[in-house]
């Protein structure tokens, strides 16, 4: 197995990873970035991005990520395809093994492996990806102004998504598997009292339909019960709000994670409990999960990495 040494290693791409690479490159850290299993991150599955500064006419997710990658490469970042398969953060320099057979010894590591939205597992979710299926109301809700949408989930996040969409759409269905909402009382009251939100309790989504995008959803009410009933609803957008899974398993033996798996950092900084190891983007952000906040955390991580290297006399 090949082994090489780097001052700055970035694991994962997306807005956090690429922005970290831009700042690390401009600081002459000669960063090495491995793109991970999904080069460009979740935004590569988004058609239009209209809320990222600098694109007044909007931009597609893949184009935005390609622009960030080019900018990172302009400042000396080496970008490779590959997935981190093993890490050793027990002593410095830290060692990360990648799927291309390379072991990288790194003085600093920026983890930007992101978080994956949870899906129901329906084939139609893949079929209509970018054509009516979304896991981010804040990202894509704008495109459904005056239309009818559905939100799957019964927790606080689902309620927040439904309320946000209700400010844009003409009608919002909440598809809730149980006979009650798991959300806090205040969130439950808000969605129950909102005139544009209809809660469909004890409903499971079993499929989506439409010719050129989502036009409706196949539901089953009281699935498996004697009075089971099949119901179709007409919708233009289908939003998943059943949680996210941070891609942090590889680091669980060395870093502190919260109960969901998000990497815990020190206050508002990207510093982890391991000196010289930083976490940026959605892997450490259970709250905002936006491209711009991920980019900002990538900036902070690179600046912290530079300071760490200076303090250790490694620059």
- Catalytic positions are 136, 139-140
Q: Which residues pair with 148 in a beta bridge?
A: 171
> With contact defined as beta carbons under 8 Å apart, do 77 and 23 qualify?
no
The answer to whether the bond into 225 is cis (omega within 30° of 0) is no
90 three-class SS:
coil
> With contact defined as beta carbons under 8 Å apart, do 40 and 14 qualify?
yes
Structure tokens at 121: 């597992």
Structure tokens at 307: 């300071």
Q: Which H or E element spans position 193?
A: helix 185-193
Comparing CA positions, the residue from 56, 132, 15, 94 lying closest to residue 308 is 94
Q: Which H or E element spans position 311?
A: helix 291-311
DSSP 262: P
Comparing CA positions, the residue from 282, 237, 232 lying closest to residue 260 is 282
At a CB cut-off of 8 Å and minimum separation 6, what does 187 contact?
Answer: 156, 159, 160, 181
């Amino acid at each position: 197995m090949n082994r090489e040494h780097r001052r700055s290693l970035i694991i994962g791409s997306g807005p956090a990873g690429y922005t970290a690479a831009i700042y690390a490159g401009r600081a002459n850290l000669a960063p090495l970035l491995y793109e991970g299993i999904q080069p460009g991150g979740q935004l590569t599955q988004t058609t239009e991005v209209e809320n990222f500064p600098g694109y007044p006419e909007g931009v597609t997710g893949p184009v935005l990520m390609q622009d960030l990658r080019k900018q990172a490469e302009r400042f000396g970042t080496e970008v490779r395809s590959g997935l981190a398969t093993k890490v050793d953060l027990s002593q410095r320099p830290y060692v990360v093994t990648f799927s291309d057979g390379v072991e990288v010894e790194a003085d600093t590591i920026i983890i930007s492996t992101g978080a994956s939205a949870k899906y129901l597992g329906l084939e139609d979710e893949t079929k209509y990806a970018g054509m009516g299926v979304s896991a981010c109301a804040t990202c894509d809700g704008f495109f459904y102004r005056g239309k009818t949408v559905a939100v799957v989930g019964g927790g606080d996040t689902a309620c927040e998504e439904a309320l946000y969409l209700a400010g844009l759409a003409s009608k919002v269905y909440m598809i809730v598997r149980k006979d009650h909402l798991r959300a806090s009382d205040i969130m439950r009251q808000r969605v129950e009292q909102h005139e544009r939100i209809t809660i469909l309790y004890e409903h499971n989504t079993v499929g989506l339909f439409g010719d050129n995008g989502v036009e409706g959803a196949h539901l089953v009410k009281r699935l498996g019960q004697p009075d089971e009933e099949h119901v179709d609803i007409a919708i233009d957008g289908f939003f998943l709000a059943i949680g996210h899974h941070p891609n942090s398993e590889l680091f669980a033996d060395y870093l502190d994670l919260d109960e969901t798996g998000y990497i815990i950092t020190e206050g508002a900084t990207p510093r982890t409990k391991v000196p010289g190891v930083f976490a940026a983007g959605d892997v450490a952000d259970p709250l905002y999960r936006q491209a711009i906040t991920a980019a900002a955390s990538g900036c902070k991580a690179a600046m912290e990495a530079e300071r760490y290297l200076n303090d250790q006399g490694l620059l």
